[in-house]
Amino acid sequence: MASIMFSEAFTAIFCFIILCVLLFKKPHDILLRNWPVLGMLPGLLVEFHRIYDFSVEILRSSNLTFTFKGPWYSGMDMLFTVDQANIHHIVSSNFSNYTKGPDFKEVFDVLGDGILTTDSELWKNLRKASKVMFSHQEFRRLLMSTTRRKIKEGFIPLFNHLAEEGAVVDLQDVFVRFTFDTTLVTVTGSTDPRSLCVEMPEADEFAKALNDVGEGIMYRHVKPRFLWKLQRWVGFGQEKKLSKADATLTRMCEQFISAKREEITQNSNHEAADLLTSHMKLDATKYNLLNPNDDKFLRDTMLSFILAGRDATASALTWFFWLLSENPQVVTKIRQEINTNLQRTNGQERPHYDDIIECLNKLDYLRSALYEAMRLYPPVPFERMTPVRPDLLPSGHKVDASMKVLIFLYALGRMEAVWGQDALEFKPERWVSKTGAFIEEPSYKFFAFFGGPRSCLGKHLAMNLMKTVVVEILQNFDIQAVKGQKIEPATGPILRMKHGLRVTLTKTCSS
């Protein structure tokens, strides 16, 4: 019965949307019109397939802030903003009034009580524990050594093979495999899926489940709460897929946790620097955590870091290399900087960890190019917050506790009012001062690593990882995007390319 009711409701809404499309020539007219009962939802659904580019158009035409009215009693009223004063107010000066909120936790329920979904004291304690781990020298060395090994044993052989064969490869898929392998090793200390290799095997069930989770979570953002909850209860469509993915992730995390406990039991002097071991050995009293060795706590912690480590970095690298393919003059400048500051590697091991970091820190133009790519294509394209109490934003817009506030990072990087008339250009030089020094923009302007108390803990680790990958590739290979392919962002919580990135590779003349 519930399934029939859902089908009839969906059919009615779909027919209404089609009618709207026929009546109005401009999709904007639909979105900006607040229909009785349905609010602005019909227009949002029409444009959902290109929601990020649509957010640019809407926010540009509405003076950087737009109030979206959802269907009556659906809890979908939202405020979209890229106003710098608003962002600073929300994430810094009035931070205590803006949380992820219970609705956020419900939408992201697959992630449990990890650092990405929690608020208040639990979030503070988890962040405190994670900050200690990220600053630990042994963890940083583990991440760098894993990255270097995966480049040597994965990237270099695969790219050599592709260059020799003249084959086309989906570079996005390659980067997802790379970050999946490196992230799982640094989280578990030992488990390497070895998905990045010449054979390029099918993605395993863990990786597929992560993809299904991201897709399911995104669709929950544009469905009335009662609809996706009904789908979950009935076991229908996207919610059925999400439920299966959740079960897969839980089962595999339990296997990792069980194996790690056995490893620690067999070696009482176990001093591994991986995330799982460090969290199993947390001092519960020191960090005010009830039971850091609990399976659910460890599972939620693992998933948060695996998702952040795999998807965000792979997204940033994919868009970056596409932009390089379109801007060969930037490639030339990056290579000149690399040749000036670093010795050729040819996939071989570098010196001591501290020496590697010192060399990477000299690559200011490369840093500028990476920042510029993330300005235009931020790995996480929007941030969602919920006010605890009603508030008045600096822009004059009122928000109440029933609204969601969405900061559209993708649109922020494209606003002429924020970045100037050349906002749509890929221009690393905007980050370089007249003296050649790197210009550090405030987080409320460049929000790729978020800002305020929730700023990204792994920022420097992620930048060093990406710099390492870029150096190794550019020293040894030329990458060219296949002409004629359609490049557009997929709809999801991570800014992936909808159709992947097909490229060809050739060895550099000096490699």
d(CA 388, CA 96): 8
d(CA 143, CA 295): 24
Chain centre distance of CA 413: 16
Give residues with Cβ within 8 angstroms of 126, minimum separation 6: 114, 115, 118, 287, 289, 301
- Residue 504, classified by CB atoms within 10 Å of its CB into exposed (0-12), middle (13-18) or buried (19+), is middle
- Which letter, b or e, does each residue of 330-349 get, where b requires 16 or more Cβ atoms within 10 Å of its Cβ? bbebbbebbeebbeebebee
Task: Report CA torsion sign: 368, 369, 370, 371.
Answer: positive
d(CA 232, CA 222): 15
Do the annotations mark residue 509 as ligand-binding? no
Q: CB atoms < 10 A from the CB of 372, how many?
A: 23
Chain centre distance of CA 379: 4
**In the chain, how long is the greatest CA-to-CA distance?**
72
**Which helix (H) or strand (E) covers residue 280, if one does?**
helix 275-280
Task: Report CA torsion sign: 89, 91, 96, 102.
Answer: positive
The label of the residue with tokens 């990237």 reads 155
Cβ-contact 163, 155 below 8 angstroms: no
Helices marked H in 308-352: 313-326, 328-341
Cβ-contact 154, 290 below 8 angstroms: no
Number of residues that make up the chain? 511
d(CA 94, CA 119): 15
Strand partners, 406: 80, 384
Tokens of 398: 């009122």
d(CA 478, CA 460): 26
DSSP state of 325: H
Cβ-contact 188, 206 below 8 angstroms: no
Give residues with Cβ within 8 angstroms of 122, minimum separation 6: 113
The CB-side HSE value for 375 (13 A sphere, CA atoms) comes to 29
Q: CB atoms < 10 A from the CB of 265, how many?
A: 9
d(CA 489, CA 438): 28
**Positions at the binding site for heme:** 456
**Positions at the binding site:** 456
